[in-house]
Amino acid sequence: MDEPSKITPADLRSDKSWYSDEELQMAADILDEVSANGVETIRLAFADQHGVLRGKTIVAAGLASAFRNGMAMTSTLLLKDTSHRTVFPVWEDDIGFGANNLTGAGDILILPDPSTFKTLPWSSHSGWMLCDVRYKDGSKMPFCVRTALKEAEANLAKDGYAMMCGLEFEFYVFRMENAHLGHGDAGMPSTPPETSLVSHGYQYLTEARYDALEDIMDDLRRACQALALPVRSMEAEFGPSQCEFTFEPATPLANADHTVLFRSAVKQICARKGLHATFMCRPKLEGIVPSGLHMHQSIIDLKTRANLMIPDSASSLSPIASNWIAGLLEHAAESCLLTTPTVNGYKRYQPYQLAPDRIQWGRDNKGAMVRGLMAPGDQASRIENRIGEPTANPYLFIASQILSGHDGIKRNLQAPAPVENPYTSDAVNLPKSLIAALERFDASTFYPEAMGSDLCAYLSRIKHAEWDRYLMTVSEWEQREYFSLF
């Protein structure tokens, strides 16, 4: 019996022409790999507005069709807040973006990116691929966060620059004591699990605390390495059962893709081990230390590949470093919706907690929002923005940094003097709540021009719905404060 003929790049070409010749060859190679390795299913995933992975799983035999035609997806997935509630009036003719645009719970497309294909080490029969979100006819849409980052990166490149960034993730891993899977626990959102500690806290970077977490760290590290994620270090952080992973520098898109895969891998691997991993900034548990997402950034000359943040002297800034820092500071408050997108994240902005609470920069100062790590001759010269929370949508977070820093370059903005005492300075405070950040974002004239007015209005609507639900929920604080007093 003759062997079935191999699929060629030409077999995958469609009249929509959404892949380059190189991408078509990658897609054909993936089909060969799937067949040779006995991969049974492919998870086609896209990062939604919150940076959460959604998608469909197809059998391996359907992958060629997904490359040719994309995969249909319900449009309401783009219209949900963090409780998974649809917050736009989809049964009306116009939800705010033009007649019949994302209405009627109709379909959109997700388009697999063959460069992102992985085989999942914790589910070896499963392939995985990230997708871009498109309209049903294959055209680009303003609500795809991955596309928004690509465009920010491309616009920076037009002026001859590229950003390299490295990320540090803090997160918690707890033992699962009660998953609360009773019928009454289902909801939007569902009942959170009950957990206990894997290790005690407050012994920052001690070997004993790392050893208590080593089995978990090893499983996560090995998975990262199998997924070709450039993990650099693993640490026992200050809080009880708190971990930190750091990654080598990479391009913005690669780093954002790494982030969504890493967070998803951590949660899935831990769940399979009877653990609960959370990237929530400040869980409501005893003795918790807030978690951050720190982003290291350097600017590269595309022609020479030189790091443009290396200063001439220890007391000076390079011109590009000054521009970039000034841009980040100028747009910091209106960027908070993108760097710190949850109600909970603003409870991290506390003084004397190794977290920023004001808009300022300092030289190797971990209390400042922007930490300068630049020295003459140091090829690793960079800044670290400590503003982010671990739940941030990485595509929007990184895009906010590119757009802000690039604006500093274009306008030749100059950084102020570095701060020495970050928690007693007279610098402007960061927004203290999600609604304060929303008000700054809504008043912004910068982001509608830089990211597009439709994307800004879309993000604002979703986050206002989230804030409104939070505001109308009676809190434990209110119950304790008023129930007996009045």
SS3 for the chain is CCCCCCCCHHHHCCCCCCCCHHHHHHHHHHHHHHHHHCCCEEEEEEECCCCCEEEEEEEHHHHHHHHHHCEEEEHHHHHECCCCCECCCCCCCCCCCCCCCCCCCCEEEEEECHHHCEECCCCCCEEEEEEEEECCCCCECCCCHHHHHHHHHHHHHHCCEEEEEEEEEEEEEEEEEECCCCHHHCCCCCCCCEEEECCCCCCCCCHHHHHHHHHHHHHHHHHHHHCCCCEEEEEECCCCCEEEEEECCECHHHHHHHHHHHHHHHHHHHHHCCEEEECCCCCCCCCCCCCCEEEEEEEEECCCCCECCCCCCCCCCCHHHHHHHHHHHHCHHHHHHHHCCCCHHHHHCCCCCCCCCECCEEECCCCCCEEEECCCCCCCCEEEEEEECCCCCHHHHHHHHHHHHHHHHHCCCCCCCCCCCCCCCCCCECCCCHHHHHHHHHCCCHHHHHHCHHHHHHHHHHHHHHHHHHHCCCCHHHHHHHCCCC
Amino acid at 79: L
Q: Which tokens belong to 39?
A: 């991969």
pLDDT of residue 206: 85
Gap between the Cα atoms of 289 and 352, Å rounded? 12
Gap between the Cα atoms of 45 and 63, Å rounded? 13
Instruction: Say how far residue 367 (Cα) sits from the centre of its chain.
Output: 23
* pLDDT (tens place) for every residue of the chain, 486 residues total: 344 567 777 777 776 678 999 999 999 999 999 999 999 999 999 999 999 999 999 999 999 999 999 999 999 999 999 999 999 999 999 999 999 999 999 999 999 999 999 999 999 999 999 999 999 999 999 999 999 999 999 999 999 999 999 999 999 999 999 999 999 999 899 999 999 999 998 888 788 889 999 999 999 999 999 999 999 999 999 999 999 999 999 999 999 999 999 999 999 999 999 999 999 999 999 999 999 999 999 999 999 999 999 999 999 999 999 999 999 999 999 999 999 999 999 999 999 988 999 999 999 999 999 999 999 999 999 999 999 999 999 999 999 999 999 999 999 999 999 999 999 999 999 999 999 999 999 999 999 999 999 999 999 999 999 999 999 999 999 999 999 999
pLDDT of residue 2: 42
Q: Which tokens belong to 454?
A: 């439709």
pLDDT of residue 292: 96
Q: Which tokens belong to 164?
A: 């390299």
pLDDT of residue 5: 61
Would you say the C-alpha torsion 396, 280, 344, 385 has a positive or negative sign?
Answer: negative
pTM of the model: 0.96
- Nearest alpha carbon to residue 388 among 462, 470, 279, 466: 279
- Nearest alpha carbon to residue 153 among 300, 308, 52, 335: 300
Gap between the Cα atoms of 465 and 80, Å rounded? 9
Q: At what angle do helices 332-339 and 319-330 cross, to 10 degrees?
A: 70
Instruction: Say how far residue 286 (Cα) sits from the centre of its chain.
Output: 27
